[in-house]
């Protein structure tokens, strides 16, 4: 113990003998790296007018849903339709008026009251196209096994679908959910959209 005390005294003496230089802080405006500008600047997209780009984003309509095809709000909050895409109130479709490659997406959130190990649902996006008698499935998800081990409790789950797909002029795109009675009534939990790439 005495030896350790002697070592501490020696270290303290050495520290006192070290000449200290006063360090001047650099001014706050002196930067050594380029900065990113944030704020109001919005870069142009290759000279395109974005208001003419075919695009839509619609959000879930709260209320009773006839059948399994979902209905949407096209003018509430962040919802919009532009560039020749139209929302069909009567059947819940987004209709495109230009042939091309589109990114299509949808998210749904369901709240299962009394969730069990067999609880499940299907979420799909399909298109009705001229010349085809039945709809064509574009994307589909089957969700199961999301309930906790304790049966009978409420449980929230979601499904997201998205892909780049080729659509033809006048195609009508829809979203189906097999258990619409469990859809969340949170306004922004359910949405659907597309935009031309």
Question: Over the chain, what is the mean pLDDT?
Answer: 85
The pLDDT value given to residue 29: 53
- At residue 47 the predicted structure's pLDDT band, cuts being 50, 70 and 90, is low
Q: Please give, one letter per residue, the 3-state secondary structure of the chain.
A: CHHHHHHHHHHHHHHHHCCCCCCCCCCCCCCCCCCCCCCCCCCCCCCCCHHHCCEEEEEECCCCCCCCECCEECCCCCCEEECCCEEECCCCEEECCCCEEEEEEEEEEEEEEEECCCCEEEEEEEEECCCCCCCEEEEEEEEECCCCCCCCEEEEEEEEEEEEEEECCCCEEEEEECCHHHECCCCCCCEEEEEEC
Residue-wise pLDDT tens digits, 153-175: 788 999 999 999 999 999 999 99
- At residue 190 the predicted structure's pLDDT band, cuts being 50, 70 and 90, is very high
Architecture of 52-196 per CATH?
Sandwich (2.60)
pTM metric for this prediction: 0.72
Residue-wise pLDDT tens digits, 17-30: 777 666 666 555 55
User: Hey, where are the domains in the chain?
Assistant: 52-196
């Amino acid at each position: 113990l005495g030896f350790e005390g002697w070592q501490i005294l020696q270290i303290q003496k050495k520290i006192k003998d070290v000449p200290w230089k006063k360090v001047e802080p650099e001014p706050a405006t002196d930067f050594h790296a380029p900065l990113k500008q944030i704020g109001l600047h919005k870069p142009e997209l290759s000279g395109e007018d974005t208001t003419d780009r075919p695009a839509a984003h619609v959000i879930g309509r709260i209320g009773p849903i006839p059948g399994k095809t979902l209905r949407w709000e096209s003018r509430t909050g962040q919802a919009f339709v532009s560039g020749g895409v139209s929302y069909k109130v009567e059947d819940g479709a987004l209709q495109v008026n230009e042939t091309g490659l589109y990114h299509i997406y949808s998210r749904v959130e369901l709240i299962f009251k009394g969730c069990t190990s067999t609880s499940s649902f299907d979420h799909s996006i399909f298109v009705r196209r001229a010349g085809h008698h039945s709809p064509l499935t574009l994307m589909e998800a089957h969700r199961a096994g999301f309930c906790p081990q304790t049966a009978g409790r409420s449980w929230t789950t979601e499904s997201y679908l998205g892909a780049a797909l080729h659509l033809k002029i006048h195609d009508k795109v829809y979203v189906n959910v097999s258990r619409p009675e469990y859809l969340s009534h949170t306004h922004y939990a359910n949405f659907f959209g597309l935009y031309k790439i």
